[in-house]
Every structure is written in structure tokens, then in C-alpha cells.
Structure 1
Amino acid sequence: MSAHKKLNYVEFAAADLIATKAFFSAVFDWQFIDYGPEYTSFSADTAGLDGGFYQAPLSSLTQHGAALLVFYSENIAQTQAKVEQYGGSIIKPIFDFPGGCRFHFTEPSGNEFAVWSEHN
């Protein structure tokens, strides 16, 4: 259910929709609904937030001022290994920060995300 004045949806460009869908399905158990060949959506039920990917040769990177969406993991080392196994690239290996640790990665279409945990 949509809530007044609350974040509701996020969209990302994806140069390779098929690879991006396969990655998020394998690593984070997301499910997708396709709306034609150039758009696919994911839901809060499997992703935590509703959103989608649209076909475009662009990517979202923090070095260019993009917002960073951060996943939570109960086992950060296992999640990092899965990201690498399914075609993600680690761009900042696990590092500590006050309150936990995290790593940054790009998925097959080049969008940057991060994963955090309370412990390493």
C-alpha cells in the first residue's frame, strides 16, 4: 500500500536487463515482472522497496553523485561471495564503520549498491 509522503518507488537504468534480472534473482531472491522488452519491475515483497529497471546505457554510481541503496545481510562474507559468484564486481571490499561493516559492488549493468552488517 502506498503511503502519503513516503518513498514509494526507485528506478535504475540497466544496459543488460537480462543479466541484471538474473543477478538480483540469484543473489537476493528478487522476482520480476516484465513490462515489454525494455522495462522490468521488482516489488517490496522480495526487494524491500518497489522499483524497476529500464533499458538504457547508463548506470548509477556514487562517484557521480548518485544515491546509494544499501542492503542488510546477516552474513556479509557469504553475501559478498554470492555477489562475486553471480557476476557482480566488488568496488570497495568489506570495511568497518561505527556500528558495523559494509562493502560496495556493481551489478552486471554497472549500478552501485552496498551491503552492510553489524558484524564481519
Structure 2
Amino acid sequence: MARPNYIELPTRDIAAARSFYEQAFGWSLTAFGPTYACTMTGDVDIGLQADAAEATKAPLTVIQVDDLETALAAVTRAGGTVVRPIFSFPGGRRFQFTDPSGNELAVMQSSADHG
């Protein structure tokens, strides 16, 4: 079943953002290089993206699916516009799209689900 499992927040200052969320909510954020950090709870996790070339303009909701190619075809058939084709990242693969209202979202498949 497809469900939101991740929200990526754009940030200009990764250190300040990590500090804020750690202090405000007690979250533990794992760094993945100098411009990215995220919680790793296994539930709905939060990512902080400070790379201006990678960051979206607004928070990015990521929907987890069992079959990425099937989801890509369904999103396209339903009227979504792919803005970033399938790519790999630590933990899986994903693509990004805009819905008919212009909202940008992502769809991901975990490495554990991809054989």
C-alpha cells in the first residue's frame, strides 16, 4: 500500500536546522554528507536538504510504494508531470513529479523492496 513515509524540508543552514529540530522536538538526525541529515525512525521520517541544487522550493512529501516503475506509469497516466526521473539514493530509488495543482512530491521504493 502506498503511504507517505518521508518529508524533506529545504534549508539554507544545515547546522542551524539540525540544532532547531533536535532542541525543539528531541529528534536525532543522522548526517549524510555536509548538506543532508535525516531522522531514521522507520516511520514517517524528516530529511533536511541544504544543497541548493537538490532542494525543492517547499517541503517535499515522499510516498513509499512497492513497485516504482508501476507507480511512475500510474502517476503519468493520472496527469502528473515527472520533474526528476528515477534515480538512486542511499536506501532506494525515487522519482519526483508535480500533480495537476503544481505540488511537487516524490515516490520512492526502498532498497529492501527492490530485488
Return the TM-score normalized by structure 1.
0.46
- Structure with bigger strand share is 2
Return the TM-score normalized by structure 2.
0.48
